Structure 1
Amino acid sequence: MKAKIAPWIFTASCPSIIGTVDVVTRYMAEAGNYIDEIHSFDDRESGLFFIRIEFLPQHDDFSDAVFSEHFADRAAEFDMEWQLTAPNHSPKVAIMVSKYDHCLNDLLYRFRTGQLNIDVTVIISNHPDLEELAKWHGIPYYHLPITAETKLEQEAQVRALIEQYDTELVVLARYMQVLSPSMCEYLDGRAINIHHSLLPGFKGARPYHQAWEKGVKMVGATAHYVNNDLDEGPIISQGIQTVNHAHYAEDLIAKGQDIERVTLFNAVKCHVEKRVFLNGKRTVVFGG
Structure 2
Amino acid sequence: MTDSNAPRTFVLTLGCPDRTGIVAAISGFIAEIGGWITEAAYHSDATSGWFFTRQAVRADSVQLPIDEIRARFAAVAAELGPATDWRLTDTGETKSVVLLVSKDSHCLTDLLSRAERGELPAQISAVVGNHLDLEPLTTRFGVPFHHVSFPAGDPDGKTAAFEQLRQIVDTHAPEAIVLARFMQILPPDLCAAWQGRAINIHHSFLPSFIGARPYHQAFDRGVKLIGATCHYVTADLDAGPIIEQDVGRISHEQTPTDMVRQGRDIETLVLSRGVRWHLEDRVLVHGRKTVVFA
Q: TM range, normalised to the smaller chain?
A: over 0.9
Contact 1:91–1:118 under 8 Å retained in 2: yes
Query: Given the alignment of the two structures, is residue 249 of structure 1 paired with residue 253 of structure 2, yes or no?
Result: no
How far is 1:249 from its partner?
A: 2.1
Secondary structure of the structure 2 residue equivalent to 1:197? coil
Match of 1:78 among 72, 80, 94: 80
Residue 4 of structure 1, CA deviation: 5.5
Contact 2:95–2:175 (Cα < 8 Å) also in 1: yes
Question: Structure 1 residues 84, 204: CA separation in 2 closer, same or farther (over 3 Å shift)?
Answer: closer
Q: Partner of 1:33 in structure 2?
A: 35
Identity score, percent: 40
Aligned-pair distance for 1:214? 3.4
Are residues 1:90 and 2:85 paired?
Answer: no
Shifted more, 210-219 versus 194-203: the winner is 194-203
Aligned to 2:149: 145
Residue 205 of structure 1, CA deviation: 5.2
Aligned to 1:166: 173
Match of 2:242 in 1: 235
Distance 2:60 2:128 in 1: 43
Correspondence 1:155 to 2:157: no
Structure 1 distance, partners of 2:85, 2:211, is: 41
200 and 110 in structure 1: CA distance in 2 versus 1, 3 angstrom threshold = closer
- Aligned-residue RMSD, C-alpha: 2.0
Structure 1 window deviating more from structure 2 (251-260 vs 203-212): it is: 203-212
SS in structure 2 at match of 1:33: coil
| TM-score, length basis structure 2 | 0.90
- Report the Cα offset of residue 60 of structure 1: 6.5
Amino acid at match of 1:49: F
Preserved contact between residue 88 and residue 117 of structure 1 (Cα < 8 Å): no
Distance in 1 (CA, whole Å) between partners of 2:280 and 2:134 is 28
Write the distance in 2 (CA, Å) between the matches of 1:276 and 1:200.
Answer: 20
Distance 1:173 1:70, change over 3 A: same
- Partner residue of 1:178 out of 185, 193, 196: 185
What does residue 99 of structure 1 align with? 103
- What is the CA distance between 1:49 and its match in structure 2? 1.6
Against the structure 1 CA distance between its residues 104 and 153, is the aligned structure 2 distance closer, same or farther, given a 3 Å change threshold?
same
Asked if 1 retains the 8 angstrom alpha-carbon contact of 2:197 and 2:232, the reply is yes
Would the aligned equivalents of 1:92 and 1:167 in 2 still touch at CA under 8 Å? Answer: yes
Partner of 2:197: 190
Give structure 1 regions of 4+ aligned residues with deviation exceeding 6 angstroms.
none
Name the residue aligned to 2:138: 134
SS at match of 2:276: helix
Report deviation, 1:260.
0.6
* Matched-pair contact (CA < 8 Å) for 1:171–1:192: yes
Correspondence for 2:277 among 252, 257, 270:
270
> Partners of 1:36 and 1:276 in 2: how far apart?
18
Q: Does 1:64 align with 2:47?
A: no
| C-alpha displacement of 1:198 | 4.8
For structure 1, list consecutive stretches of 5 or more residues without a partner in the other structure.
none
Could you tell me how far 1:73 is from its partner in structure 2? 2.0
Query: What's 1:20 paired with?
Result: 22
What is the distance in 1 between the residues matched to 2:217 and 2:99? 29
Aligned-partner Cα distance in 1 for 2:23–2:217: 49
2:117 corresponds to 1:110: no
CA distance in 2, matches of 1:246, 1:215: 10
Distance 1:66 1:240 in 2: 44
User: 1:245: how far off?
Assistant: 2.2
Number of corresponding residues: 285
Structure 2 spans left out of the alignment, 5+ residues = none
**1:50 CA displacement:** 1.3
**What code does the residue aligned with 2:232 have?**
Y
Q: 1:208, 1:8 → 2: CA distance?
A: 42
